Structure 1
Amino acid sequence: MGQHYVRSVPPGPLGAAVGSLLGYEITEDAPAVHRGLPSPWLTVVISLDGPVPTATGPGPDAALHRYASLVGGLHTVPAYIHQPAHQEGVQLALDPLASRDLLGVPSGELGLVTDADDVLGHLSRDLRERLGGTSSWDERLALVTGELLRARGSRSPTLGLVRAEVAEAWRFVVRAGGRVSVPDVAAHVWLSPRQLTSLFAAELGLSPGAACRLIRFDAARDAVRARSLAPSGPSLATIAARTGYADHSHLVRDFHAFAGASPTAWLAEERANIQAGGGAPRAG
């Protein structure tokens, strides 16, 4: 049983479009189910082992879909990764505003989990084949970043353009940590709340209000994870106040909505990944 992670800093030309690039190899005593929690990043997973089995539920009767490579859009419910005992691959976190540029489609067209072959076509299949011929993690991660740069260079300049008001609205919500009202976001970009909601959802796949909740949850999840590594850290009530929740119970309700579990139950499931300093591939 073991976990091995290799992280790479994406090259400068990719800027903030790639939040993280991670190679992973995980061996468990037995198959397990991992919750892929919602986050403000798109997730790309390229398996170097067997296909990644995903489902919308954790139980053995959940319908499984198996993808050799997958893309997870922005979402507000967990995806469940039914992990085999051994898994190996590359995982990326992408800025949703870079989806057109890097994936060729707005993130609003991506589902909870989408087959990467349906999004990228032969590029996805070719990349897997080339990765299979590599012998080191440095070579693998360099290959992925190189393909991202080539994909971006092949796009029409107009394809990668996100409407300025939508891009600024997303950045405004992120800068505010989700602690802002939809009318305030709309006023910031000189749109009516109705106009903003329509354009925002079409581009990103979420309403502005859902995006605010998602970003607050992501900050709270990170704080809960950090607290598990430092038991003398802030209480859940303090984390709730710092991340924009009304109180502890409000935080717990959002954890149930976004994670399908309470903060303590989620920690109990994920403790091994957290202590390893990595994280199993997650859809979203």
Structure 2
Amino acid sequence: MPAHRRSAALAPFVAALSSYDLGPGGVHRGLPSTTISITIPEADSLEIGWLGRQGSAQRFQAVVAGLHLDPAELTQRGGTRGVWLTLSPPAAAMLLGVPASALSGQLAELADVAPAMADLPERLAGCRSWPRRRALVEEALLAGLDRHESDTGGRELPATLAALSGTARVQEAARLLGCSRRHLSGTVRCALGVTPKEYQRLLRFEAVRGQLVAAARDGTAGLADVAAAAGFADQAHLTREWRAMAGCTPAEWLRTEGLTGPTA
């Protein structure tokens, strides 16, 4: 299948697909988000664990991370490059064959989650160009879509997530969907493994992350402006929430990303 047709078929499910290089030290902080991530190193295995949890680090040939509200730390020695992709929650069922709820708060080997993709790391290691690596990943995902296309749960979930994204109030989202708050909560827990409020918390954190990066690059906004735009009571409220979910302050995170500001 031509590249543009592969990408178009996967567009509803794949949020990002790119190569990565962790750079000197080979360490990366994995932040909470509304997506499921898959990280496949080019050469060496990965060591990844939850920050602040002793003994949580594990080694993976390729790791799948479900929705999580805590930061993780990824270490890759030897080689620091690989392939990274993020999937929307419905994609877990549609492409991998498991509901997003089965992955919530978990770090798992790709081969255990999707056995049909067990040889993908080895096949990627044999590629010498990014276009071919991208094509291999897309082909593996499309094969998963063909295997699991009868799964209707993944197809119905986007409307629920869109309602939660459109309002900060769970009760309002339930009204938009024409159901009770209790029914919505049960649906979201069953599908995602998190509560509606936790999903909205992830949405807000993700939005703030984008705003922080944009503000740092153009220098037009400070932390107080970002906090106000995201609906936080004040800058201190934003900093507390960021520290709880990222394990550091916004300024500290920006420095690790090679960015500076906003700081005030």
TM score, norm. by length of structure 1: 0.83
> How far, CA to CA, are the matches of 1:240 and 1:219 in structure 2?
11
Correspondence for 2:177: 189
Superposed counterparts of 1:136-175, under 5 Å:
136-157=129-150, 159-162=151-154, 164=156, 166-174=157-165
Identity, % of aligned pairs?
A: 32
Deviations 1:46-72 (CA, angstroms, capped at 9, x unpaired): 12211110111269x644201111111
How many residues matched?
256
TM-score (norm 2): 0.89
2:33 counterpart of 1:39: yes
Work out the CA distance in 2 between the residues paired with 1:211 and 1:106.
Answer: 15
Q: Cα 1:78–1:17, aligned 2, differ >3 Å: closer, same or farther?
A: same
Aligned residues of 1:56 and 1:62 also touching (Cα < 8 A): no
- Given the alignment, which residue of 202, 216, 221 partners 2:190? 202
Unaligned runs of 5+ in 2: none
- The CA deviation at 1:195 is 1.6
Alpha-carbon deviation of 1:9? 10
Q: What amino acid does structure 2 have at the position aligned with 1:130?
A: R
| Structure 1, unpaired ranges of 5+ | 1-7, 276-284
Which residue in 2 is equivalent to 1:103?
96
CA 1:154–1:63 in structure 2 vs 1: closer, same or farther (change >3 Å)?
closer
Hey, what's the Cα distance between the residues in 1 that align with 2:76 and 2:254? 18
TM superposition shift of 1:125: 2.1
- 1:132 is the counterpart of 2:125: yes
**Aligned counterpart in structure 2 of residue 48 of structure 1, from 42, 51, 59:** 42
Cα distance change, pair 270–203 in 1 and its aligned pair in 2 (3 A): same
Q: CA deviation at 1:86?
A: 2.9
Deviation of the 1:145 alpha carbon: 0.6
Residue aligning to 2:202: 214
> C-alpha distance in 2, partners of 1:44/1:169?
24
Question: Match of 1:282?
Answer: none
Structure 1 residues 31 and 131, CA gap change in structure 2 (3 angstroms): closer
Question: Residue 31 and residue 20 in structure 1: after superposition, are their counterparts in 2 closer, same or farther (change >3 A)?
Answer: closer
The answer on whether the counterparts of 1:9 and 1:20 sit within 8 Å (CA) in structure 2 is no
User: How far apart, CA to CA, are the structure 2 residues paired with 1:269 and 1:27?
Assistant: 12
Per the alignment, do residues 9 and 234 of structure 1 end up closer, same or farther by CA in structure 2, a change over 3 Å counting? farther
Q: Distance in 1 between matches of 2:79 and 2:52?
A: 19
Using the TM superposition, give the Cα deviation of residue 161 of structure 1 relative to its aligned residue in structure 2, in angstroms: 2.8
Q: 1:93, CA displacement in angstroms? A: 1.0
Matched-pair contact (CA < 8 Å) for 2:117–2:140 = no
Q: Which of 260, 264, 276 pairs up with 2:247?
A: 260
Matched, 1:12 2:8: yes
- CA deviation profile, 1:98-123 (whole Å, cap 9, x unmatched): 210011011110033221111011x2
Contact 2:26 2:80 in 1 (8 A): no
Deviations 1:167-222 (A, max 9, x none): 32211223x2xx42111111111221112111101101211011111101111111
**Structure-2 residue corresponding to 1:279:** none
- Give runs of aligned pairs for residues 213-232 of structure 1, distance below 5 A: 213-230=201-218, 232=219
- Look up the SS of the partner of 1:77 in the other structure: coil
Partner of 1:251: 238
Specify the SS of the correspondent of 2:18: strand
